[in-house]
């Protein structure tokens, strides 16, 4: 009968307004899941952008350091001690700190992340930074992240027009002599890169011998795991040794599991799923209730339970697929672009997320259909007539 008469579609499309409301509700639930998952991915990706652009095979940090925004310093002697191993090619200390930047146009202050390194050593996989290492040796010179939020001022535009921009950091006059691309994150709205000496001028309470991250480059062919194990046993317990990927994973794990933000986005996704179940259940339940006499007649004619299971399942699948399309399009082409423009966060659709939400949409419609089917299964033709 299903091959001859599209009963599921005919029942859904009989009342156009009810079908529209159902698709709008499913689309809303999908948009909610898309946005929550998108924010969560943007959180994790943006929080590790700096880590991913560091030039290092192994990384030294203080074991009390939880994340980029709360790094704890340690003695740079630990970093220099790693040169005792013949597999170590080079080392580079890295300094990090948050401080107020003055918008050169509007004159308001905003916190910005400053990264300091020795220009004589390559610490970043950023060509614009490496090309400007000579310039960074000059006093009070910094590089500005062109992907920082607009609240820091139109620095890229001013730099293109004048080839330099002057402003203040915590009351100290500095000069922007170059740009690079890194991007804002949930921990920092903007970034600066400068030399370690300029970093100490900006942060006069910091000590040259107290670093936040130690970068270690190994010789070609060296086994990272073996060198890491040797260094961890060789160095005192006031530092820990991580591979580059472990350093990235540590930051992602902090934001995903140790902050309220990660929990909120996971909860928001779950709420969108539950909202979708409730909406689809209401539609399918109403449809079953409206056609209960017809279903009872089919039961009396000898149609088995699997026929009705397949019928409601078809309706649930149709609703899932039709409701998914507008939700996907609106999230991908409108909301993600709007969020990316407004926040400078890396919001974008991925194949994995698109498939994941599609599966969740089908699952929530299937659950709703299974719940609505209970009323139909309980219907007795003798009671109805």
pLDDT along the chain (385 residues), means of 10: 67 85 90 92 89 96 91 95 95 96 94 96 94 95 95 95 93 96 89 97 95 96 95 94 96 87 86 89 82 75 80 89 94 92 86 95 91 72 55
Q: Which domain holds residue 370?
A: 7-46+260-384
52 in a domain, yes or no? no
For residue 340, what are its two tokens? 């990316």
For residue 8, what are its two tokens? 């599921």
Residues 331 and 184 occupy one common structural domain: no
Residues 291 and 366 occupy one common structural domain: yes
249 in a domain, yes or no? no
Compute the C-alpha angle 71/76/80, nearest 5°.
Answer: 135
Residues 183 and 289 occupy one common structural domain: no
Going by their DSSP bridges, the two strands 141-145 and 172-180 should be labelled as parallel
Last residue of a domain, one of 238, 273, 289: 238
**What's the confidence (pLDDT) of residue 378?**
61
Residues 102 and 147 occupy one common structural domain: yes
Q: Let me know: does 48 contact 255? Beta carbons within 8 Å.
A: no
Residue with tokens 């310093």: 73
For residue 192, what are its two tokens? 């600066």
Count of domains in the chain?
Answer: 2
55 in a domain, yes or no? no
- Pick from 43, 26, 110, 41: nearest CA to 326: 26
Residues 225 and 335 occupy one common structural domain: no
**What's the confidence (pLDDT) of residue 288?**
79
Residues 379 and 266 occupy one common structural domain: yes
E-state strands within the chain: 58-61, 74-75, 88-102, 109-117, 141-145, 165-169, 172-180, 191-195, 210-211, 213-218, 240-243
251 in a domain, yes or no? no
Residues 87 and 211 occupy one common structural domain: yes
**What's the confidence (pLDDT) of residue 2?**
46
**What's the confidence (pLDDT) of residue 352?**
95
Residues 41 and 172 occupy one common structural domain: no
Residues 35 and 103 occupy one common structural domain: no
Residues 67 and 215 occupy one common structural domain: yes
């Amino acid at each position: 009968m299903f091959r001859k008469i599209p009963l599921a579609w005919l029942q859904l499309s009989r009342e156009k307004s009810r079908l529209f409301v159902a698709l709008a509700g499913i689309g809303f639930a999908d948009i909610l899941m898309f946005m929550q998952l998108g924010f969560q991915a943007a959180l994790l990706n943006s929080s590790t952008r700096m880590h991913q652009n560091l030039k290092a095979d192994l990384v030294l940090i203080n074991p009390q350091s939880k994340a980029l925004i709360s790094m704890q310093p340690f003695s740079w002697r630990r970093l220099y001690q790693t040169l005792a191993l013949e597999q170590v090619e080079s080392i580079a200390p890295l300094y990090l700190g948050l401080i107020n930047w003055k918008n050169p146009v509007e004159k308001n202050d905003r916190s910005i992340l400053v990264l300091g390194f020795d220009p004589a050593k390559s610490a970043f996989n950023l060509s614009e930074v490496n090309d400007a290492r000579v310039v960074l040796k000059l006093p009070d010179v910094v590089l500005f992240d062109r992907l920082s939020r607009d609240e820091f001022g139109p620095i890229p535009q001013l730099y293109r027009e004048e080839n330099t921009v002057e402003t203040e950091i915590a009351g100290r006059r500095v000069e922007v002599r170059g740009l690079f691309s890194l991007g804002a994150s949930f921990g920092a709205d903007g970034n600066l890169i400068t030399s370690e000496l300029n970093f100490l001028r900006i942060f006069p309470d910091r000590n040259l011998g107290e670093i936040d991250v130690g970068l270690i480059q190994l010789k070609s062919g060296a086994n990272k795991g073996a060198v890491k194990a040797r260094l961890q046993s060789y160095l005192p317990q006031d530092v820990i040794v991580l591979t580059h990927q472990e350093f990235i994973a540590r930051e992602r794990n902090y934001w995903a599991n140790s902050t309220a933000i990660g929990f909120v986005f996971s909860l928001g996704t779950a709420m969108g799923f539950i909202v979708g179940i409730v909406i689809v259940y209401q539609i399918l339940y109403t449809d079953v209730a409206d056609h209960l006499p017809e279903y009872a007649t089919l039961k009396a004619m000898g149609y088995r339970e699997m026929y009705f299971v397949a019928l409601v399942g078809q309706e649930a699948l149709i609703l899932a697929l039709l409701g998914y399309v507008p939700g996907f399009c609106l999230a991908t082409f409108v909301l993600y672009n709007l969020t990316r423009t407004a926040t400078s966060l890396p919001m974008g659709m991925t194949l994995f997320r698109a498939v994941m939400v599609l599966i969740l949409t089908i699952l929530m419609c299937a659950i709703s259909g299974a719940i609505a089917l209970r009323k139909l299964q309980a219907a007795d033709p003798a009671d109805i007539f």
